[in-house]
Structure 1
Amino acid sequence: MTHVAVIGGGPAGLAAAEVMAEAGLSVTVFEAKPTVARKFLMAGKSGLNLTKAEDVAAMLPHYTEAAPWLTPALRAWDADAITAWGEGLGQEMFAGSTGRVFPTAMKASPLLRAWLQRLEGLGVTIRPRHRWTGWDGSSPRITGPDGETLTIETDATILACGGASWARLGSDGAWADWIGINTAPFAASNAALSVHWSPHMHKHMGQPIKGVGWRAGPYRSRGEAIASWRGLEGGGIYSVSRGVREGAELFLDLLPDLSVDDAARRLARPRGKASFSNHLRKVLKLSPLKIALAQEWGRPWPDDTLRTARRLKKLRVAHTGLRPMDEAISTAGGVPGAALDDTLMLRSTPGVFCAGEMLDWEAPTGGYLLTACLATGRWAGQGAVRYLTP
């Protein structure tokens, strides 16, 4: 029987294994960790956001430069297909008010258990504690659980090795040293920021920052963030972290629904004996956390209301850069699109396909990450089926 090796047991690798096994191929998944899909399970702890209820045309801009070469995979396995797939695994799905699609159980583990049962029924073999360490000619070299070296004879290989964040869950990017092509350097994507807070901010740690706008270079967000002891984290920050990574300053708009002129008119109301903080609370309806952020990054305040309003609308966030890459939700960098043909096969190595986060693309949280991982996994698997079918 035609045999295919899948390197990596994350969502991309499992998706590739599923579509190839359905086509009648013999599939073995080699996973370095003791269990598969560890990052997938971690993502599910806060509610497994599988996809976004959008058509592909609306999704594509979120993949920026990689959109042209990701398009075939995303069109073949879009949000509707992913939702139907999840329901086919016995998991009821729903779309939230923002279009994000979740299992009703809000966990990854029930879906993963059902998925692994399906793969087992299709004859897929999963070998944990087997780490890919390079090539013997065109065959993958695997280090087994006891340190033994195995050379795997395959008719095709799917590489789904992950990016370079959350190394303890299996994505350490080490494969870039032996894949045999020039890869794009890894960089943090959807990353938190480090902030050294003043003591007056300590009582606000752990609180959500809502109803604000963030901007870094061309990237903008109206999402929430959390003021944490480490700094700023959450979807609102992740969406603009690329701009910070590329050197742009980060600005916070505390009044995204007011114009500068409207804010200035409100600030011009008589203040009497009220403190500046109380004046902000009364005339602009700012919460204690927003007032604290204004004081953290806005002082010393200008003398006139117009410049004060401008500052509240464009607070320069003082931070010390992105948190370490290993803490990032995802990474940019990896196998460039130019190194792949339209089936995600390496141009330099026939029969070797790449999928998932090891490809050089990035997208914001909100369903776009798992969508592309699942879609490219299936697309690479389908590419392998076509490659092996006379």
Structure 2
Amino acid sequence: MNTAIIIGAGPAGLMAAEELAKAGVSVTVCEAKPSVGRKFLMAGKSGLNITKDEAPEQFLAAFTEASPHLAPMIAAFGPNEIKLWAAELGQELFTGSTGRVFPKAMKASPLLRAWLGRLDALGVTFNTRWRWTGWSDGGLRFDTPEGVQTLGADVTIFALGGASWKRLGSDGVWAEAFQAKNVPVTPFSAANAGIKIDWSSFMEKHFGFALKGIALSSGPFTSRGEAVISRQGIEGGGVYSVSRGVRDGHQLVVDLAPDQTLENIGKKLSKPQGKATLTNHMRKVLKLDPAKIALLQEMAKPLPKDPKQLAKLIKAVPVQHSGLRPMDEAISTAGGVAWSGVDETLMLQSMPATYVVGEMLDWEAPTGGYLITACLATGAWAGRHAAAKIG
């Protein structure tokens, strides 16, 4: 029987294992951590956003420069296929108002349990606490509880993740070993990251509060959503979508009232203020909550008294920041094995019968179902092609 080794037990690795096992290949999955799917489970803590239901061209555009490379993979195993796959695992799904698709259970654990049950039925073997440390005499070397072990197989698929959330298994240390094998690796950088802000003491009472119903922009990247004010800065889905612009050196701008026009805001601010403070006046006529007003004051004090000038500021608050939060805190990372280093099947150009999938590849996308979809799609793609190659 043909054999395959999958290194890394996240969504991409598990999907590759499933495709190979369905093709009759004997599959062994090696995972450095004591259990599998740790980052997958973390992603589901606040509701597992497994994919997004939107037009194919719009979905693909989220992957920016990597779109042409990922296009055939997502066409073969994209949102529709993922929904069918989850349903076959007994997971009821629902689609939110923004097109995001979730299991009705909201958690990742029921889906992962069902998935592992399927893989077990297909004969997939799991070696946990097996950390890959490189190549040795043509084989794959692992540090294990029983000491150093060396394995060989007809095909190998690496699914070691990017370089964020080290405690969950994605540390990026594999890059050096790959570069030593003449595999081109683009340096890692944070993606979908919070933004660091050195607040004054004035903002302390607002830590933990959300900036709701705002619009953010940084360079060519824009988003509607919300952000949470934390001691370290601001974070949340709305922030993550524009963090790449910040990373690329663009200014961060926040519109505190995106559903109101500049002219309308100016007219409201021109109403008699009476004895009310400017803060109370803005709260009353514009319905700005304390968190929004606090951000405005923090970033632009003293505020202009002229209603038109103040209106312009409310529609475009320049946020002074210190860049992105550390890469290990980022939800995902950009960088990884360059597309020039793999062929159209995701096999390494310099190493026959060796494939890379998931966040090891150089692509990035916003949160909202895109990340997991691409991981599953690349895993399925490499698994199918690897099975065909050795079959």
Common fold: TM-score over 0.5: yes
Residue 36 (structure 2) aligns with: 36
Conserved in 2, the CA contact under 8 Å of 1:5 and 1:28?
yes
Select 1:217's aligned residue among 214, 219, 231: 219
Deviations 1:115-164, CA, capped at 9 Å, x for gaps = 11110000000100111111125432222124x22221110100100000
Q: 1:72 deviation in Å?
A: 1.0
Partner of 1:150: 149
Alignment partner, residue 244 of structure 1: 246
Find out whether 1:62 has 2:62 as its counterpart. yes
Structure 2 CA distance, aligned partners of 1:231 and 1:383? 44
- Give the percent of matched residue pairs that are identical in Structure 1 and Structure 2: 56
Indicate if the aligned counterparts of 1:7 and 1:161 stay in contact, CA closer than 8 A: yes
**Residue identity in the other structure for 1:316:** P
User: Does the CA-based 8 Å contact 2:163-2:327 persist in structure 1?
Assistant: yes
Which residue of 2 is the match for residue 200 of structure 1?
202
Aligned mates of 1:188, 1:93 — CA distance in 2? 30
Name the Cα RMSD after superposition.
1.1
Whole-angstrom CA distance in 1 between matches of 2:92 and 2:119: 20
- Count of aligned pairs between the two proteins: 388
1:255 aligns with 2:257: yes
Is contact 1:29–1:124 with CA below 8 Å preserved after alignment? yes
- Once the two structures are superposed, the pairs formed by residues 97-136 of structure 1 within 5 Å of their partners are 97-136=97-136
Whole-Å Cα distance in 2 between the matches of residues 10 and 246 of structure 1? 29
For residues 89 and 368 of structure 1, what CA distance do their matches in structure 2 show? 20
The residue number in structure 1 matching 2:365 is 363
Offset, 1:202:
2.0
1:328 to 324, 327, 330: 330
Any stretches of 5+ residues in structure 2 without a counterpart? Answer: none
The residue that corresponds to 1:177 in the other structure is 176
Q: Deviations over 1:93-120 (max 9, x none)?
A: 1111111111111111111111111100
Q: CA deviation at 1:262?
A: 1.9
**SS of the residue 2:335 aligns to:** strand
Cα deviation code 1:1-41 (max 9, x no counterpart): 10000010000000000010000000000000011110001
Within a 5 Å distance, the mapping from 1:329-348 to structure 2 comes to 329-348=331-350
Contact 1:52 1:101 in 2 (8 A): yes
Paired residues of 1:55 and 1:79 also in contact (CA < 8 A):
no
Residue matched to 1:140: 140
Q: What TM-score do the two structures reach when normalised by structure 2? A: 0.97
Mapped to 2, the partners of 1:383 and 1:138 lie a distance apart of: 22
Give secondary structure in 2 for the equivalent of 1:185.
strand
Q: Given that residues 184 and 340 in structure 2 are in contact (C-alpha distance below 8 angstroms), is that contact kept between their aligned partners in structure 1?
A: no
Give the letter for the 1:153 counterpart. G
SS in 2 for 1:5: strand
- 2:57, 2:161 → 1: CA distance? 26
Stretches (4+) displaced over 4 A: none
2:266 is matched with which residue: 264, 272, 281?
264
Instruction: State how far apart, in whole Å, the 1-side matches of 2:162 and 2:56 are.
Output: 24
SS state at 1:301 partner: coil
Q: Which moved further from structure 2: 239-248 or 220-229?
A: 220-229
2:389 corresponds in structure 1 to 387
Aligned partners of 2:136, 2:72: CA distance in 1, in Å?
A: 32
* 1:252 counterpart letter in structure 2: V
Shift of 1:275: 0.5
Give, as a single letter, the amino acid of the residue that structure 1 aligns with 2:106: M
Q: In structure 2, what residue type is equivalent to 1:122? A: L
Alignment-derived partner of residue 76 in structure 2: 76
The separation in 1 between residues aligned to 2:195 and 2:205, in whole angstroms, is 19
Q: Deviations 1:313-351 (Å, cap 9, x if unpaired)?
A: 111112222111000000000011121111111111110
**Partner Cα distance (1:264, 1:138) in 2:** 71
Whole-Å separation in 2 of the counterparts to 1:55 and 1:256: 25
1:312 aligns with 2:314: yes
Write the distance in 1 (CA, Å) between the matches of 2:265 and 2:309: 10
CA contact (8 A) 1:298 1:312 kept: no
- Listed as ranges, the gaps of 5+ residues in structure 1 are none
Structure 2 Cα separation of the partners of residues 14 and 37 of structure 1 = 8
TM-score, normalization: structure 1?
Answer: 0.97
Q: Shift of residue 264 of structure 1?
A: 1.4
